Amino acid sequence: MDRVALTRYALAALGGARLDRLTRQQLELALAKTFPDVPAWRSQSVRLMLEWLEQDGHLQPVTPASGRRFVPPTWMLTAQGRDAIAAELTRLRKLREHAQRLAARRAHGSPHMRLWRLLRARGHLTAKEAAETLVDAGDDAAVERATRQAHQLLMRWRKLAPDAIQVGARRVDGHVRYVLARDDQYPPEAQA
């Protein structure tokens, strides 16, 4: 792992542990608790994390009180460190939300997957055809809304993967015809 990744791991672990002062052992415990899927944290990695956090101004060493026999090296979190932790926790929260959105888009009955399966089955499709197929008949307002949503999704997919979805040369009743050029299991935005 590189410096950026190790620093991010350390900041996330410190944010989860809510420690203002810490020793190397406390950081190791926080890392193990925050990231249980990562195999045992090597002592050298933890030492490097502490060193880099100190160099970046996130931690500052605490000098032990005189007269004490052995005090393990201790660091104190700085204001810059608190800001970095808050930023890292926000970044992780956004990544988690993004992963949840992708999972929802991949869900079997989601509108994204229903439209994608319809396009895969037919090979070509207009937004109007998709809406009329996927929405209950008789509800004109719902069909119009679904037509706009299908058109927006198909345009977004075409921009994300122009080699997978192309605009056909032919229009059907004034509606753009989308052609599936490359068949994938998931729509382009759910493949990240």
The reported pLDDT for the residue numbered 178 is: 92
Average pLDDT per consecutive 10 residues, the chain (192 residues; last block may be shorter): 80 82 84 76 79 89 73 85 90 86 73 88 92 85 91 90 86 87 78 51
Looking at residue 154, its amino acid is L
Would you say 11 and 5 are in contact if contact means Cβ atoms under 8 Å apart? no
Would you say 150 and 130 are in contact if contact means Cβ atoms under 8 Å apart? yes
Beta bridge partners of 172: 175
- Looking at residue 164, what DSSP letter applies? T
The reported pLDDT for the residue numbered 105 is: 67
Integer CA distances (angstroms), 44 to 19, 80, 187, in order: 21, 24, 43
